[in-house]
Amino acid sequence: MKALTVWQPWATLLATGYKTVETRSWKTNYRGKILIHAAKRPVVNGIIEMDREARKVLRDVLDLPEIYREINWTEYYRKLPIGVVVGEARLTDCIHINEEYQRFIKNACHAEYLLGDFTTGRYAWIMEDAIKYDVPIPATGRQGLWNIEIEYNDKIGRAMGNG
């Protein structure tokens, strides 16, 4: 089964379906189910790199309790799982990003635009049918699109509450 390692909080956003486009510097011809693996990279580092408007979108999308919005939202993000498969989605398309696509995504879904890197020349991986696992599955990630051992199939069923 194919897997993609993504930094938090983007991994959780993909697994919950709030983010449906993952941007990459490389294209893929693969289409089908893809496991979403949250990298071991510290979550807060990813948040710090976001601009202010993107952080506001993130707080709104994840529906943070008011205490995290007003006092110390970084504590909430530290609780996001890392080093685990957090869910799955179906990769349906891979679109080369040009100026026209940049304008389209910025106008059609500004929140999506803020949560990705839609620089000309990159690729937009279109994800559908996202499923967030109830119980994340520990796994060691890799760069690129990688294969995860078949033994994870039983764990995936349990993570989804099917066993």
Q: Write the DSSP assignment of 28-57 as a string of letters.
A: ----EEEEEEEPSS-HHHHHHHS-HHHHHH
Domain borders along the chain are 2-159
Output the pTM of the full model: 0.82
- Is the CB of residue 32 less than 8 Å from the CB of residue 14? no
State how far the Cα of 72 lies from the Cα of 74, in Å rounded to an integer.
5
List all residues 6 or more positions away from 40 whose beta carbon is below 8 Å from its beta carbon: 82, 83, 141
Please say if the pLDDT value at position 112 is more than 50. Answer: yes
CA of 151: how far to CAs of 71, 88, 148, 156, in Å? 42, 16, 8, 9
Lowest mean pLDDT among 23-32, 38-47, 102-111, 149-158: 149-158
In this prediction, residue 9 has a pLDDT band, given cuts at 50, 70 and 90, of: confident
CA of 105: how far to CAs of 5, 20, 27, 61, in Å? 23, 11, 18, 17
Q: Tell whether the torsion through CA atoms of 10, 36, 12 and 41 is positive or negative.
A: negative
Kindly state the tokens that stand for 84.
């685990």
**Averaged confidence pLDDT in the chain:** 84
Mean pLDDT of the 131-140 span: 94
Mean pLDDT of the 42-66 span: 68
CATH class of 2-159: mainly beta
- Is the CB of residue 13 less than 8 Å from the CB of residue 115? yes
In this prediction, residue 163 has a pLDDT band, given cuts at 50, 70 and 90, of: low
Residue of 85, 90, 83, 91 whose CA lies nearest to 158: 85
